[in-house]
Amino acid sequence: MGLTGLAIFKELPKKNCGECGVPTCLAFAMALAAGKATLETCPYVTEAAKEALGSASAPPIKLVKVGAGDSKVVELGDETVMFRHDKTFYHPTGIAFEVEDTLDEAALTEKIAQINDLEFDRVGLHYTVDMVAIKNASGNADTFAGAVKKVAEASKLALVLMSDDSAAMEKALETVTARKPLIYAATTDNFEAMTALAKKYEAPLAVKGANLDELEDVVNKVVALGHKDLVLDPGSRKTVDVLADLTQLRRMTIKKKFRPFGYPVMAFTTETDPMDEAMQAQVYISKYASMIVLKTVEKQFVMPILSWRQNIYTDPQKPIQVESKIYEVGAVNENSPVYITTNFSLSYYSVEGEVEASKIPSYIIPIDTDGTSVLTAWAAGKFGGDKIAEVMKSLGIEQKVSHRNVVIPGYVAVIAAKLKEDSGWNVMVGPREAAGISPFARANFS
């Protein structure tokens, strides 16, 4: 989306002098929007206007990286839509865990070990967490720097350094210069010192305001000092207020091209009960937080948060697929029936649900059809008897059952002969709809 004529017109001097070769500023704005003129031909356009018009072609939300060198690098921001169904969300919310520098050595070591252990494998996917946020709760610079050093040695995750005191911040930064941690935070009171540090260490800088107006003010001051790798904290902490602020920030950048807010946004959970905290985190992940800082490190609460993040940041335009392997439904044995379907998750789970409802333990083999449904895959030549025979063989289903009967979807009865020929199995044409599996199973396998 290029610049609109009106947006350009607002930035022009409105002198209608004609020196650009066009009689009015309005007509000149039209010519610019149509790409038939350049801004340079106007001798009166201000620097601010040039900046505004030049940056209008930049993406609405800047991409900011936290972490460098041998640590994890987390990409934040660079989003383009309000709703994932409009396109997709690109950069999954960075998950950080708050660690206070007042912990004694043993407790700190223990906590980092717990955070490092937050890796999960689920439904063929691998979930990891991203950052550790070290908080200067002690108020002491040396204690803070010591804690940061320990965390950096014990963990490869990206770092967030949290202190209002620029002297403590500098001391801590010196110990992890190469890791480019996120500096938290520049405020009305300390933005000059914090911005100087962020520039000196080329690190991303969090900007915090007590409200959106103050946030805008501090961002403008930091940008004026020449630093643009920013992460925003609107200052709100109650879920309902954070939700409103996150929405407002995202809307103003995408809909209104409001430059001061064109950066990734961070949110903090505040609920003390980990169950409530997980729900709070779920809201922020759903609603535009580029990173969140959590307190709980317990696996049972972190896992659903990561599952939700994975889900929300899935590209809705790509079909969701299940892994192509042998699935067991119920307590299977060598006599259990074998069903064939595709790896399109909608097809697979429809079949799985109905097989489960039939109360007859069974095997299901979803064939890898690039996540397309039965008829789509068959029409595209991805679900032929030869291919299915090949997959059955490579997965070794013949070692799992003593019989040689395989059930195929009713809509592709036409592939039965080829499948029989290539696999040597007896092919049973099942019902057309998964809903027919229960009666079919009772009739054939009871």
Partner 1 sequence: MIIIGERINGMFKDIGQAVAEKNPKPLQEWAIKQKEGGAHYLDINTGPACEDRVAGMKWMVEVVQEVSDLPLVLDSTNYDAIEASLELCKRPAMINSCPAERPKIERVFPMAVKHNAKVIGLTMNEKGIPKNAENRVALAMELVAAADEFGLPMEDLFIDPLILPVNVAQDHVPEVLEAIRQVKLLADPAPKTVLGLSNVSQKSPDRPLLNRVYLAMGAACGLDAVIADANDDALMETAASTEVLLNLSIYCDSYVKVFRTR
The contact mask relative to partner 1 for 37-76 (x = CB under 8 A, - = no) is ----------------------------------------
Stretch that binds partner 1, among 30-38, 222-230, 275-283, 409-417 (CB under 8 A): 30-38
Q: Does 30 bind partner 1 (CB under 8 A)?
A: yes
Q: Which is nearer to partner 1, 8 or 305 (CB)?
A: 8
371 is in an annotated binding site: yes
Does residue 1 belong to the site contacting partner 1 (CB under 8 A)? yes
| Pairwise CA distance, residues 2 & 10, whole Å | 15
20 assigned ligand-binding residue: yes
Spatial neighbors of 141 by CB under 8 A, at least 6 apart, are 165, 167, 168, 171, 172
Which residues from 247-286 bind partner 1, rule CB under 8 A? 255, 257
Residue 380 counted as an annotated binding residue? no
| CB of 255 vs partner 1, minimal distance in Å | 8
AA identity, residue 66 = V
CB-side neighbour CA atoms (13 Å) of 306: 21
**Spatial separation of the C-alpha atoms in residues 167 and 142, rounded to whole Å:** 10
Alpha helix (H) ranges present in 102-140?
105-116
Q: Are 287 and 243 in contact (CB under 8 A)?
A: yes
Q: From start to end of 80-153, where are the E strands?
A: 94-100, 119-122, 125-128, 131-135
Smallest gap from residue 26 Cβ to partner 1 (A)? 6
27 binds partner 1 per the rule CB under 8 A = yes
Which helix (H) or strand (E) segment holds residue 8: the answer is helix 5-11
Q: Which stretch binds partner 1 (CB under 8 A): 25-33, 205-213, 215-223, 366-374?
A: 25-33
Shortest distance in whole angstroms from residue 37 CB to partner 1? 13
Stretch that binds partner 1, among 4-12, 94-102, 159-167, 305-313 (CB under 8 A): 4-12
Q: Does residue 242 have a known ligand-binding role?
A: no
Counting residues that bind partner 1 (by CB under 8 A) gives: 16
Contact assessment for residue 337 and residue 407, using Cβ atoms and an 8 Å cutoff? yes
Backbone angles phi, psi at 329, to 5 degrees: -110, 115
Longest dimension (CA), the chain: 91
Residues in contact with partner 1 by CB under 8 A are 1-2, 4-7, 9-10, 26-27, 29-30, 33-34, 255, 257
Q: Which residues are annotated as a binding site for 5-methoxybenzimidazolylcob(I)amide?
A: 341, 371-374, 434
